[in-house]
Each structure stands twice: as structure tokens, then as C-alpha cells.
Copies of this chain bind each other. A is one copy, B any other.
Amino acid sequence: MTQATRVHVAVPNAPYDVHVGEGVLQGIAAATAGADRVAVVSDREVCALHGDLRRHGVDAPMLEFDGGESIKTLGVLEEVLDFCAASSLSRSSILVAYGGGTVGDLTGMAASLFKRGLRVIQVPTTLLAQVDASVGGKTAINLAAGKNLAGTFHQPHAVFCDTGLLGTLSEAEYQSGLGEVIKTALIEGEPALAQLESISRDLGARAVTALSDTVARCVTTKARVVVSDPEERGARRSLNLGHTFAHAIEHAAGYGRVPHGIAVAVGLQLAASASERVYASSTDLGERIGRLLSAFGLPADLEELRSRYSLGAALTANALIEGLGHDKKGRVGAPEFVLMRGPGDIELGVMIAEEELRDLLA
């Protein structure tokens, strides 16, 4: 193990630790030792590349899926729940999610529902899931009407972010995680943003130290925000920076066409532009975000996203505005945005006039 960091998430009733670093997965057998039974839901490709969790001492029934948004349905959720029943899990058992964000969302939701709740351990295997999705207890599946429209808050029992698993990610998967990394630095504040800028080259190259350090920093920010507001009644909404736009992009493109973190990356750029308009101020934030996006090989704006994914016909301003109406954060008929006056200076619940939106999304 090179460096291991433990981040404590002090949510009420059920605090837990996030273990970050190369090789931390070797601790999972000990973490499951207190359960009467264990069962594992895995990503098939991750198991093929890295071995399943038996390799790490977890001897348990296993269910494998191909990851991706297509598994986040009530039908697949039922398969997982039936697997829990077939594995004779009780309320004293532990379910383990071993895969990317979609496996984690699905498995976390099953764990929150089976017998009205048992413990789940998250083993995120993508950068996106390590820096964002696996910490904080949000679970979800998609409905026909929109992404993540049904879910629960169910904090994990423990999280293992083994950065040794990230070397096999495709470039697109890795870039997708970098979108959330930029978001997290913007929420944390100027020092975090400057630090990210300073290591952007190493991070783009997946250098071991830069990677472990970045995941630990992101998890620390996420933990701080989640602890302040576990069920997203207020402050936690800051984590949705860029996400209202991102969800509209994903909705208009069709789920799964644009990786979530890449939609978020472009959403951050849109949030920066929207912030300049709303606050009638000129900052260098858009430019700095653009430089980071380019350094990471991410599309730098909406136009570049359209051309890279051949989505010019789908991602029209009209379609995006229609998609904004499906965002679940706001009250009926009025999408709300998370904007920023500067790094770490986040404002929630901002409304934007439709004509402004049309300009932004043109």
C-alpha cells in the first residue's frame, strides 16, 4: 500500500469511514466480519479485470451485472432484492457493492429496502464513484420520466476507495470522474482549485500520488458537506453545482449517451456562464474551468460536447430547456440552479429567466 487515508463521515446515528488509497481493499474482509451473512453485487467487467472479492477474503454469494445506466431500473432492483432473499440475508447482514456508480446506486437502494434496511459497504471502482457517488448515502434508480427520480438516503457502513482499481478505466470513464473532481474543488474554495490546477498534468496521467491525494481531498469535502445536511434539505444542494444543466443534457441526449461526469463538466462551464449573467460580474472562473477541462481532455463547452458526441440535433436549446423541467431539485415548474460567485462561494436555489437560459443553451 502506498498511502492510505481514512476519512471519517460523522453523520448522526451511523458514522462511517472511507478508506482511500492504493490497496485499501485488503481491509474489506475485516469490515464484513461482524455480519451474520454477506452478499456481493459486482460489475462483471471489474471482476474480469481485477478478480472478484473472494480474492480479498470475502467468501459470499455474488451477483454480477454489466454496469451502466441501463441497470438502474426497478426491474433490475427486483433481481437484486430477490438475490438478497435467496442469500437469506437478515437485518444483521451486509450487502457489498463492487463496481461503479450505477452498481453502487442500485445496490445501495436494494440494501435500504430489503427488510427495510441492512448495511451496505461500497467499493467504488470508478473515479466518478470514488470521488462522489459512493459517499453520502444517496441511492437511486431511473424512471421513464427522468434520471434518479426514485431512491433513498441510506448511508453506507464503510467505503473502500482503492485507487489501484482506477488504472484499467477507459479514458472516457476516467475523464467522467474528473468532471466531479473539478466540481468538488469549486465547492471547496480557492486553495483547492489552485491545488487542482497545479497537479492537473499528473492527475490527467493518473500518477499514483496525485490520484490518491485527489480522491482523499474530494471525499473530505463531500463528507463535510454531507455531515452538515445528510438528507439534502439545504447546504448539501451545493453538491449539485453543474448538475441541473448536466441532467438536462443527459435527459435530452438520452440516458447513457453522455457519461454523467462529462455532462457535469460541461454543466460546470454552463453554471459559470450563468453565474456571470445572473450576478452581472466578470470573473476568470469560466476561463479557469475551461483550462482544466481542456487539460483533462474534456469538452470545454456545450458546442464541443455536441460535436464530440454527434448530438447537435438532440441537444438543442429547446430540448435542454424541456429537460430542465425534469430536474427533481426544484418545486413544480421552476428549476432551481446552484451558482457561484467564486470558488467556495456557492448560492443555492437561484432562478434564471427563460430568455437567459435560451441564450446560454443556444
List residues of A whose CB falls within 8 A of some B CB: 36-37, 74-75, 77-78, 81-82, 85-86, 88-93, 112-117, 138, 140, 143-146, 149-153, 231-232, 328-333
Contacts and interface: CB of A to CB of B under 8 A. Distances in A.
Most buried by B among A37, A231, A232, A331: A331
Contact of A152 (B149, B152, B231, B332): B152
Nearest to A92: B331
B116 A331 contact: no
A149 B115 contact: yes
Contact of A149 (B85, B151, B329): B85
A149 B330 CA distance: 32
Contacts of A153: 116-117
Given A37-B332, A116-B152, 10 more contacts: A85-B144, A85-B145, A86-B145, A91-B328, A91-B329, A93-B332, A112-B152, A113-B150, A113-B151, A115-B150
A151 B46 CA distance: 30
Contacts of A151: 113, 116
Given A85-B149, A116-B152, A90 B143 contact: no
Given A77-B74, A88-B332, A90-B331, A113 B152 contact: yes
12 contacts: A37-B332, A74-B77, A74-B78, A82-B145, A85-B146, A85-B149, A91-B331, A112-B152, A115-B328, A116-B150, A116-B232, A117-B231
Nearest to A330: B90
A91 B234 CA distance: 13
A163 to B, nearest CB: 29
Counted per complex, copies of this chain come to 2
Contacts of A113: 150-152
Nearest to A328: B115
A82 B144 contact: yes
Return the 6 tightest CB-CB contacts between A and B, nearest first: A85-B145, A113-B150, A115-B328, A74-B78, A90-B331, A90-B332
Nearest to A80: B150
Contacts of A114: 149-150
Nearest to A113: B150
Nearest to A37: B332
Nearest to A75: B74
A92 B150 CA distance: 15
Contacts of A117: 152-153, 231
Given A74-B74, A152-B152, A331 B85 contact: no
A92 B333 CA distance: 12
A11 to B, nearest CB: 14
Given A138-B116, A328-B91, A81 B149 contact: yes
A297 to B, nearest CB: 33
Contacts of A77: 74
Given A77-B74, A332-B37, A82 B115 contact: no
Contacts of A81: 74, 143, 149-150
Contacts of A330: 90
Most buried by B among A140, A143, A231: A143
A92 B74 CA distance: 24
A36 B151 CA distance: 21
